């Protein structure tokens, strides 16, 4: 699985958009980009995933660059409950359910 690089921490004001970047410059053609988050002391929670097209669901939007070497997770209106560690994971088709977590980005949403 390709390696990912994320900033260790970010701050965001409540109500503003949180844009979390992820670099995955060694991604290969059949690897997907997944985002999970982990709120303190809870199990990780799936957010969104994509291959090459931008994706949106009720939680967030995922923007993948055309060369697929980086992506951005967007939380459109961050709330205090979005404070968590966000993990960007690149997942190869052949590794079934195995998720390789990096160190993630600790997002702090403040008033």
Q: DSSP letter at 44?
A: -
Whole-number Å distance between alpha carbons of 19 and 2: 22
Of 90 and 109, which CB lies nearer to other proteins in the complex structure?
Answer: 90
Of 42 and 111, which CB lies nearer to other proteins in the complex structure?
Answer: 42
Of 74 and 92, which CB lies nearer to other proteins in the complex structure?
Answer: 92
In angstroms, give the least distance from the CB of 18 to other proteins: 21
In angstroms, give the least distance from the CB of 43 to other proteins: 3
Q: Where does the chain have alpha helices with state H?
A: none
CA distances from 98 to 24, 27, 89, 92 (A): 18, 16, 10, 9
Tokens standing for residue 56: 């949106």
- Give residue for tokens 């097209």: 53
Which residues would be at the binding site for other proteins (CB under 8 A)? Answer: 32, 34, 38, 41-46, 49, 87, 91-93, 95-103
């Amino acid at each position: 699985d390709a390696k990912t690089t994320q900033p260790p921490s970010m701050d965001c004001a409540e109500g503003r958009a949180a844009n979390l970047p992820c670099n995955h410059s060694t991604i290969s053609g059949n690897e997907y980009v997944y985002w999970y988050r982990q709120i303190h002391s809870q199990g990780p929670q799936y957010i969104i995933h994509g291959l090459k097209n931008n994706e949106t669901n009720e939680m967030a939007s995922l923007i993948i660059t055309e060369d697929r070497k980086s992506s951005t997770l967007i939380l459109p209106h961050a709330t205090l409950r979005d404070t968590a560690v966000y993990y960007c994971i690149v997942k190869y088709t052949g590794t079934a359910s195995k998720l390789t977590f990096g160190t993630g980005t600790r997002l702090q949403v403040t008033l």
